[in-house]
Amino acid sequence: MSKRDFLSTADLTRAELDDLLDLAARVKGKRPGQVLTGKTLGLLFFQPSLRTRVSFEVAMVQLGGHCINLSSDDLYELEPNEQAVMDGAAEEHVKDAARTLSRYGDALGIRAASRTGPWQRDRQELLLRSYAKFASVPVINLETSFAHPCQALADVMTMRENLVSLRGRKLTLLWCNHPEPKSLGPTHSVLQLAALSGMQITLAHPLGFEVDDEVLQKSKQVAGEAGGSLQVVNDMQAAARGAEVLYARSWGSIKHWHDAEREAMVKRSLTSWRVDEQLMATTNNALLMHPLPVRRNVAATDAVLDGKQSVIYEQAANRAHVQKALLMQLLK
């Protein structure tokens, strides 16, 4: 049997998504037992992690397995390109690392979300995809600049728990200010799963902070086929009006992907793009969502993050449950 990786939410069918979330709901209500006894998950973090690392460790422990964690301090700089003449900074080729680690563990999780060059390079997820190509065990995307599928699974699970059916529900994905350039991963992945669920999606951002056009066009198509819709607006107030879910998240500018200083200059005039009580009051009693970590009183105010409509900690808690379901499907 060929292995199966989990690299993108775009790879899921509606039936697969429903099966995965139904399993997550069942394991949330009752622990499934030691179904992964003797299994080992290797986690490779090339960037910092709190919720992803801890939730995967908790998931494996509760299923009877265990994790090995490696950070950038433990890892050589890797070369992802084939036929490369490795006379530069890279100490090891990805194929050698992937094939070696496959002998030690039963699955690998990779977080590689840093900016390494122009957007057209980073959107290819070279390091992650190289690990998936050369590893003989399942590879899980723990976040890249392009996608964060595990986060999106927990987000959709949280929405389902609160709204039951997502078809036709109004979701606003709202860009928020942040002093640093952020990954587009969570935004792309939530957009794809919301479209697959048939939601009425409004994507709101300032000019210059457009998402990847291929993701946008495909999500529009999928949303339409699922009975939903997707529109893009550049007006924060209009986007929030009537929303049933307000998902706040900052993401970097593809236009200025290679120029962080220019992006920072543009964002100086965008400090009003944050979620506060006045904005929430224009929604349809919307759930407030954010994938965390959040810059309080920059992306959203304390009042809304700690308010009764906020489900940010439910999102975080559901990370462990969807990941248990995912691991059971990949490894059991």
Domain presence at residue 97: yes
Query: Is 163 in the same domain as 78?
Result: no
Query: Is 196 in the same domain as 267?
Result: yes
pLDDT recorded at residue 33: 85
Give me the mean pLDDT over the 148-167 stretch.
97
Give me the mean pLDDT over the 207-228 stretch.
98
pLDDT at 172 over 60: yes
Is the Cα torsion angle 225, 315, 115, 67 positive or negative in sign? negative
Query: Is 323 in the same domain as 311?
Result: no
Give me the mean pLDDT over the 24-35 stretch.
89
Domain residue limits at 218: 151-315
Query: Is 173 in the same domain as 270?
Result: yes
Give me the mean pLDDT over the 257-285 stretch.
96
State the Cα–Cα distance between residues 117 and 124, nearest whole angstrom: 11
Angle at Cα 93 formed by Cα 256 and Cα 67, nearest 5°?
A: 90
Domain presence at residue 3: no
Residues near 268 by beta carbon (within 8 Å), at least 6 away in sequence: none
320: its two tokens: 């462990």
Give me the mean pLDDT over the 50-63 stretch.
96
Domain presence at residue 4: no
Number of domains in the chain: 2
pLDDT recorded at residue 3: 83
Per cent of the chain over pLDDT 90 is 93
Domain presence at residue 43: yes
pLDDT at 252 over 60: yes
pLDDT at 193 over 90: yes
State the Cα–Cα distance between residues 164 and 37, nearest whole angstrom: 33
Give me the mean pLDDT over the 161-170 stretch.
97
Q: How does pLDDT run across 79-117, given as a tens digit for each residue? A: 999 899 999 999 999 999 999 999 999 999 999 999 988
Query: Is 157 in the same domain as 292?
Result: yes
pLDDT at 1 over 60: no
Query: Is 167 in the same domain as 77?
Result: no
Query: Is 133 in the same domain as 235?
Result: no
Query: Is 179 in the same domain as 105?
Result: no
Query: Is 137 in the same domain as 191?
Result: no
pLDDT at 208 over 70: yes
Given a contact cutoff of 8 angstroms between Cβ atoms, the answer to whether 172 and 235 are in contact is no
User: What pTM value is reported for the model?
Assistant: 0.96
Question: Which CATH number does the domain housing residue 192 bear?
Answer: 3.40.50.1370
Angle at which helices 149-163 and 14-29 cross, to 10°: 70
pLDDT recorded at residue 2: 59
Query: Is 197 in the same domain as 275?
Result: yes
Q: How does pLDDT run across 136-157, given as a tens digit for each residue? A: 999 999 999 999 999 999 999 9
Strands (DSSP E) contained in 218-258 are 229-233, 245-249
Query: Is 52 in the same domain as 137?
Result: yes
Between 300 and 31, residue with greater pLDDT: 300
Query: Is 135 in the same domain as 104?
Result: yes
Provide φ and ψ at 95, rounded to 5°: -60, -35
